[in-house]
């Protein structure tokens, strides 16, 4: 009996091993696109030209690079803090500046938001939030109905901002300035 059992057992073990090898191979390939996002962005403040050459983290930010570079100096804020400047809005005066404190800044229609967009029907109560992490400012949609757009492309997940990028929430477009 032994001569029959041993190869069968080996075949069984090999089959299970191969099944998991397949899963391993597939998952390894599948998480490849997660690994593409660099762990630590080599971002040096005050060197906007370097940013242009930097390979963007993922597809959502790809179109961001040219406009970031073109705005060069006018993307700088005068006082050295990062700010959101209103470019175009139905509810806020143009050129209104919002200084971004460290930590999280929320944008929304509700009175509890840091940046309040009152009476804009296309803005959700809690619309978007800006988070500073590792020297970069990330904008993230907070489950809004109409979405948050960075340079006219819908932001999916946390999207890093570069100086000069345009963030649109409802009818309001902000320019990000560092």
Residues that bind other proteins (CB under 8 A): 7-9, 11-16, 18-23, 25-27, 29-30, 33, 49, 52-53, 55-56, 59, 62-63, 65-66, 121-122, 143, 145-146, 156
Cβ distance to other proteins smaller for residue 62 or 133: 62
Instruction: Select 26 or 101, whichever has its Cβ closest to other proteins.
Output: 26
Min dist. Cβ of residue 159 to other proteins (A): 13
Nearer CB in complex with other proteins: 12/99: 12
Burial grade of 52 (CB within 10 A; 0-12, 13-18, 19 or more) = middle
Question: In the bound complex, what is the minimum distance in angstroms from residue 135's beta carbon to other proteins?
Answer: 22
- Residue 87 gets which letter from DSSP? E
DSSP three-state, residue 73 = helix
* Residue 109 or 166 having the CB closest to other proteins: 109
DSSP for 113-175 reads: SSEE-TT-TTS-SS-EEEEEETTEEEEEE-S-SS-EEETTEE--S-EEE-TT-EEEETTEEEE
């Amino acid at each position: 009996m032994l001569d029959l059992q041993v190869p069968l057992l080996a075949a069984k073990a090999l089959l299970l091993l191969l099944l998991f090898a397949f899963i391993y191979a597939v998952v390894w390939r599948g998480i490849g696109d997660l690994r593409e996002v660099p762990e630590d962005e080599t971002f040096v403040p005050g060197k906007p030209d370097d940013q242009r050459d930097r390979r963007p983290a993922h597809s959502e930010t790809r179109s961001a690079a040219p406009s970031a570079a073109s705005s060069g100096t006018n993307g700088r804020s005068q006082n050295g803090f990062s700010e959101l400047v209103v470019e175009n809005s139905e509810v806020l005066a143009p050129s209104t500046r919002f200084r971004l404190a460290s930590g999280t800044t929320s944008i929304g229609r509700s009175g509890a938001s840091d940046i309040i967009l009152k009476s804009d029907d296309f803005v959700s109560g809690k619309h978007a939030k800006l988070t500073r992490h590792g020297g970069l400012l990330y904008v993230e949609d907070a489950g809004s109905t109409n979405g948050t757009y960075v340079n006219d492309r819908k932001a999916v997940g946390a999207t890093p901002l570069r100086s000069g990028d345009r963030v649109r929430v409802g009818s309001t477009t902000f320019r990000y300035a560092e």
